[in-house]
């Protein structure tokens, strides 16, 4: 007997909705085994990971804080992936956005600049991310260089550039030699929503962007073009859609969103520019995009879920001494299951007798 | 030992992990499969290779552990992309994320430990020749193995029947299937071979390059190996030049940093990555609109009809 794939006549809508849930369930089973393997009580560990953070107000706010950059980046990435454009350098665009916006915060630091500073920083951040994303887009469109490799290489370059700035020209002279810029002025800081908490206005921006993406994909011609170019390139050519132009457009949008997420992160929860401002948001956002089935509302839910794993992972490290790397393992396994379950939307698996041509099998 | 000699020795050592990983990926891509998980397989090879060598005291067992780790990850990749027809790009990314996480988990207990690095094999008499002696005849076993691997690959791809079948599968999977060749089986073998090579390349880092394990020590070498395959236009011979060129860039930037030329060290560290982008652009542009050198079925999903 052997297993073969058989293409379904139509996409299965039931499985399309159920597949992320099945994937999460399978991941939890795998995690249970992993916890047991590490010699930890699976029930207690899963509780700390997934239930504890939901029970107190502080953790709930932290989930929203962590989900904000994830959702913003993943929205942009989903446009790329829908158009079959493989931007995997969102982490770099996030960092460059943070750098570009921070430039203004550093320049105006200690002056009596007014409330125009923060909006200008956000614009600069989005612009920086978009321009950085333009590099792989142009390399792809003009020269045919694989955008996968160029965008990924630029992550390392961005990381080193940020490192250079905060250790060199932008370092706070009063910062005890720590590699950070001075703390941003109040006018250069994203305001918090609730006094005394870390939940900031960036979360609202993320929600607005989700709504914007719903409209772009569901109600506009450009959104339609993006989907057609990705799913039916031949039909797109017949219709006269310009694939190169869409490559550049999706890269620009996703770069801008990643850059905006970057500047909001440093001007919000972090408070100044320093190395390690991202625990890999740009890469985790790839998982968010796929777990959300490349749909804006799905991405919102998936972003909250993966933010939960970040918070749960931190708490599990503190209270149960579970290594933080387990969160990455968890995220990787989750992406595998999501992709595998997605395959079942298009195909069904059938058990076939090995000698099916001989005619004595049961089919 | 003169400075030039020392630099060349360092270049060879820096190039070998790239060459090993890229050699495996070249075979995978020749079979029409794009496995972007090289970085993940390499870092797992590094963690498991170090663990094996540290626990047993044997470089050989360490190398075998690295190979096994790379193959295990590539088996997951094969199951998903070949068995379940999942998108290869996304699966490769998942493999890298998983590999980085798992290697941190496995390697956590070994950070700060040291092992005896792989010995250099001195060929009697020859290695005593001035200058060229040490460079040509006193490398560690992995260096010779990597070059032998390239030679064997060239022979396999161009001089054997199954090499021809491999290329056919990569260039037109539908025709190869119609001729009765087991496309998915051949691709699975290629993917496993690629995993073994990436695991070995990763294991080389803690076993010979630096005798300890640091989380994330591959530092993007897996991605550079992927770029090397493009640079080499999928030709095994050119892979050697590419790998040694990149090894040279990464060593020369280290020496330039040491010389203190007043250039920010971060800019020098970024050179290998910038060079990769530059090379990809130049190579892709030179090929222009003419028929691409890439295997025609590269990255495409294949589900055989019955």
B144: closest CA of chain A, how far (Å): 29
pLDDT tens digits, A34-91:
889 888 889 999 998 889 999 988 889 999 999 999 999 999 999 999 999 999 999 9
Residue B174 pLDDT exceeds 80: yes
Domain span at residue B162?
3-219
Task: Measure the CA–CA gap between A14 and A12, rounded to whole angstroms.
Answer: 6
Question: Which residues of chain B are within 8 Å of residue A150 when distances are taken between CB atoms?
Answer: 277, 280-281
Shortest CB distance from B97 goes to which of A154, A161, A335? Answer: A335
Residue B131 is predicted with a pLDDT of: 66
Task: Measure the CA–CA gap between A309 and B207, rounded to whole angstroms.
Answer: 34
The arithmetic mean of pLDDT across residues B264-272, rounded, is 88
Residue A163 is predicted with a pLDDT of: 95
A149: closest CA of chain B, how far (Å): 7
- Within a domain: B81: yes
The arithmetic mean of pLDDT across residues B62-87, rounded, is 95
Q: In this complex, do B102 and A5 lie within 8 Å of one another by their Cβ atoms?
A: no
Strand, coil or helix: what is A108? coil
Interface A-B: count of C-beta contacts within 8 A = 147
A144: closest CA of chain B, how far (Å): 6
Question: Which residues of chain A are within 8 Å of residue B100 when distances are taken between CB atoms?
Answer: 328, 332
> Judging by beta carbons within 10 Å of its beta carbon (0-12, 13-18, 19+), is residue B211 exposed, middle or buried?
middle
Task: Measure the CA–CA gap between B43 and B218, rounded to whole angstroms.
Answer: 6
CA atoms within 13 A on the CB side of B155: 6
Residue B184 is predicted with a pLDDT of: 93
Residue A357 is predicted with a pLDDT of: 47
Looking at chain B, which residue has its C-alpha nearest residue A81? B90
Residue A359 pLDDT exceeds 50: no
User: B125 falls in which pLDDT band (50, 70, 90)?
Assistant: low
Task: Measure the CA–CA gap between A68 and A20, rounded to whole angstroms.
Answer: 21
User: A289 falls in which pLDDT band (50, 70, 90)?
Assistant: very high
Question: Which residues of chain B are within 8 Å of residue A326 when distances are taken between CB atoms?
Answer: 101, 105
Q: In this complex, do B101 and A331 lie within 8 Å of one another by their Cβ atoms?
A: yes
User: A196 falls in which pLDDT band (50, 70, 90)?
Assistant: confident
User: B71 falls in which pLDDT band (50, 70, 90)?
Assistant: very high
Element (H, E) at A341: helix A325-346
Residue A361 is predicted with a pLDDT of: 38
Q: In this complex, do A340 and B84 lie within 8 Å of one another by their Cβ atoms?
A: yes
Question: Which residues of chain A are within 8 Å of residue B267 when distances are taken between CB atoms?
Answer: 160, 164
- The full length of chain A comes to 363
Q: In this complex, do A332 and B87 lie within 8 Å of one another by their Cβ atoms?
A: no
Residue A278 is predicted with a pLDDT of: 92
- Within a domain: B249: no
Q: In this complex, do B86 and A146 lie within 8 Å of one another by their Cβ atoms?
A: no
DSSP assignment of A138-175: HHHHHH---HHHHHHHHHHHHHHHHHHHHHTTT--TTS
pLDDT tens digits, B90-121:
899 999 999 999 999 998 888 888 888 888 77
User: A106 falls in which pLDDT band (50, 70, 90)?
Assistant: very high
The arithmetic mean of pLDDT across residues B230-247, rounded, is 91
Task: Measure the CA–CA gap between B23 and A235, rounded to whole angstroms.
Answer: 37
Question: Which residues of chain B are within 8 Å of residue A142 when distances are taken between CB atoms?
Answer: 285
Q: Are strands A347-352 and A2-7 parallel, antiparallel or unpaired?
A: antiparallel
The arithmetic mean of pLDDT across residues B11-38, rounded, is 95
Residue A20 is predicted with a pLDDT of: 86
Percent of chain A with pLDDT over 90: 64
Q: In this complex, do A145 and B223 lie within 8 Å of one another by their Cβ atoms?
A: no
Q: In this complex, do B303 and A347 lie within 8 Å of one another by their Cβ atoms?
A: yes
Task: Measure the CA–CA gap between B166 and B270, rounded to whole angstroms.
Answer: 36
> What DSSP designation does A350 have?
E
Alpha helices by DSSP H, chain B: 3-30, 38-56, 59-78, 88-107, 132-137, 141-159, 161-171, 173-178, 183-204, 221-231, 236-259, 265-287
What distances in angstroms separate CA A64 from CA A99, A311, A335, B300, one per listed residue? 23, 10, 21, 38
User: A302 falls in which pLDDT band (50, 70, 90)?
Assistant: very high
Mutate to test the interface with B, among A167, A332, A353 (most CBs of B within 10 A): A332
Look up residue B249 and give its two tokens.
Answer: 């860039």
B266: closest CA of chain A, how far (Å): 5
Instruction: Give helix then strand counts, H and E, for chain A.
Output: 13, 2
Whether B98 contacts A333, CB under 8 Å: yes
Shortest CB distance from B91 goes to which of A339, A346, A352? Answer: A339
Looking at chain A, which residue has its C-alpha nearest residue B96? A332
Task: Measure the CA–CA gap between A157 and A42, rounded to whole angstroms.
Answer: 40
Looking at chain B, which residue has its C-alpha nearest residue A355? B306
pLDDT tens digits, B175-228:
999 999 999 999 999 999 999 999 999 999 999 988 889 988 998 999 999 999
Task: Measure the CA–CA gap between B186 and B162, rounded to whole angstroms.
Answer: 9
Question: Which residues of chain A are within 8 Å of residue B274 when distances are taken between CB atoms?
Answer: 153, 157
Look at chain B and report how many structural domains it folds into: 1
Question: Which residues of chain A are within 8 Å of residue B253 when distances are taken between CB atoms?
Answer: none
User: B306 falls in which pLDDT band (50, 70, 90)?
Assistant: low
Whether A254 contacts A85, CB under 8 Å: no
Measure CA B113 to chain center. 25
Helix axes B221-231, B183-204, angle to 10 degrees: 130
> What DSSP designation does A187 have?
G
**A181 phi and psi, to 5 degrees?**
-80, 170
**Cβ neighbours for B305, distance < 8 A, ≥ 6 positions apart:** none
User: B66 falls in which pLDDT band (50, 70, 90)?
Assistant: very high
Whether B170 contacts B32, CB under 8 Å: yes
User: B250 falls in which pLDDT band (50, 70, 90)?
Assistant: confident
Shortest CB distance from B94 goes to which of A4, A149, A332? Answer: A332
Whether A266 contacts A273, CB under 8 Å: yes
Question: Which residues of chain A are within 8 Å of residue B219 when distances are taken between CB atoms?
Answer: 156
- Within a domain: B86: yes
User: B1 falls in which pLDDT band (50, 70, 90)?
Assistant: low
**Cβ neighbours for B142, distance < 8 A, ≥ 6 positions apart:** B16, B20, B63, B118, B200, B204, B207, B208
How confident is the prediction for chain B on average, in pLDDT? Answer: 89
Task: Measure the CA–CA gap between A175 and A169, rounded to whole angstroms.
Answer: 13
Residue B258 pLDDT exceeds 90: no
Task: Measure the CA–CA gap between A198 and B53, rounded to whole angstroms.
Answer: 46
Residue A355 is predicted with a pLDDT of: 54
- Within a domain: B128: yes
Task: Measure the CA–CA gap between B103 and B40, rounded to whole angstroms.
Answer: 8
Domains of chain A plus CATH, in order, are 46-322 (1.10.3470)
Instruction: Please provide the distance, in angstroms rounded to a whole number, between the alpha carbons at the two ends of chain A.
Output: 10
Question: Which residues of chain B are within 8 Å of residue A90 when distances are taken between CB atoms?
Answer: none
User: A363 falls in which pLDDT band (50, 70, 90)?
Assistant: very low
- Within a domain: B35: yes
Residue B236 is predicted with a pLDDT of: 92
A330: closest CA of chain B, how far (Å): 8
Residue A2 pLDDT exceeds 80: no
């Amino acid at each position: 007997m052997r297993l073969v794939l058989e293409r379904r006549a139509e996409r299965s809508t039931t499985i399309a909705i159920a597949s992320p849930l099945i994937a999460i369930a399978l991941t939890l089973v795998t995690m249970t085994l992993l916890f047991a393997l590490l010699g930890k009580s699976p029930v207690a560990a899963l509780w700390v990971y997934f239930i504890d953070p939901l029970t107190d107000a502080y953790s709930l706010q932290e989930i929203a804080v962590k989900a904000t950059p994830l959702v913003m980046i993943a929205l942009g990435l989903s446009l790329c992936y829908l158009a079959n454009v493989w931007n995997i350098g969102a982490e770099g665009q996030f960092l460059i956005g943070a750098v570009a916006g921070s430039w203004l915060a550093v320049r105006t630091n200690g002056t009596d600049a007014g409330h125009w500073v923060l909006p200008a920083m956000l614009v600069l951040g989005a612009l920086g991310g978009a321009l950085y994303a333009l590099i792989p887009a142009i390399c792809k469109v003009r020269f045919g260089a694989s955008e996968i490799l160029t965008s990924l290489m630029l992550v390392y370059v961005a990381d080193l550039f940020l490192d250079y700035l905060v250790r060199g020209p932008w370092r706070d002279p009063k910062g005890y030699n720590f590699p950070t810029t001075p703390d941003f002025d109040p006018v250069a800081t994203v305001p918090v929503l609730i006094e005394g908490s870390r939940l900031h206005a960036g979360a609202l921006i993320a929600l607005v962007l989700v709504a914007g993406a719903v409209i772009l994909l569901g109600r506009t011609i450009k959104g339609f073009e993006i989907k057609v170019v990705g799913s039916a390139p031949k039909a797109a050519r017949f219709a006269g859609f310009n694939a190169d132009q869409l490559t550049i457009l999706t890269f620009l949008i996703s770069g801008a969103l990643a850059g905006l997420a970057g500047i909001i992160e440093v001007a919000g929860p972090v408070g100044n520019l320093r190395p390690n401002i991202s625990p890999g948001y740009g890469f985790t956002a790839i998982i968010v995009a796929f777990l959300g089935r490349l749909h804006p509302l799905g991405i919102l839910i998936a972003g909250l879920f993966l933010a939960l794993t970040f918070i749960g992972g931190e708490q599990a490290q503190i209270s149960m001494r579970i290594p933080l790397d387990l969160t990455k393992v968890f995220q990787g396994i989750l992406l595998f299951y999501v992709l595998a379950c997605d395959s079942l939307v298009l195909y069904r698996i059938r058990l076939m007798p090995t000698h099916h041509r001989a005619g004595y099998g049961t089919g | 030992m003169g400075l030039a000699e020392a630099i060349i020795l360092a270049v060879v050592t820096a190039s070998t992990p790239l060459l090993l990983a890229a050699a495996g990926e070249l075979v995978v891509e020749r079979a029409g499969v794009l496995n972007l998980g090289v970085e993940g397989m390499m870092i797992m090879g590094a963690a498991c290779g170090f663990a094996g060598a540290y626990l047993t005291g044997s470089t050989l067992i360490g190398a075998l552990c690295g190979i096994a780790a790379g193959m295990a990850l590539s088996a997951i990749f094969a199951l998903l992309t070949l068995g379940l027809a999942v998108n290869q790009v996304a699966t490769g990314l998942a493999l890298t994320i998983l590999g980085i996480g798992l290697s941190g988990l496995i390697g956590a207990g070994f950070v700060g430990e040291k092992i005896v690095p792989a010995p250099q094999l001195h060929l009697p008499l020859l290695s005593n020749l001035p200058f060229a002696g040490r460079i040509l005849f006193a490398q560690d076993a992995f260096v010779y193995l990597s070059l032998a691997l390239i030679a064997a690959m060239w022979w396999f791809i161009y001089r054997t029947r199954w090499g021809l079948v491999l290329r056919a599968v990569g260039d037109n999977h539908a025709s190869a299937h119609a001729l009765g060749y087991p496309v998915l089986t051949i691709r699975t073998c290629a993917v496993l071979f690629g995993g073994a090579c990436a695991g070995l390349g990763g294991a080389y880092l803690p076993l010979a390059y630096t005798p300890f394990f640091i989380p994330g020590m591959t530092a993007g070498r897996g991605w550079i190996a992927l770029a090397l395959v493009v640079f080499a236009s999928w030709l095994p011979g050119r892979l050697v030049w590419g790998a040694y060129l990149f090894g040279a860039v990464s060593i020369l930037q280290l020496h330039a940093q040491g010389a203190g030329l007043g250039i920010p060290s971060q800019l020098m560290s970024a050179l290998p990555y910038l060079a990769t982008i530059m090379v990809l652009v130049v190579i892709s542009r030179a090929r222009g609109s003419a028929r691409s050198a890439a295997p025609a079925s590269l990255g495409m999903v294949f589900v055989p009809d019955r």
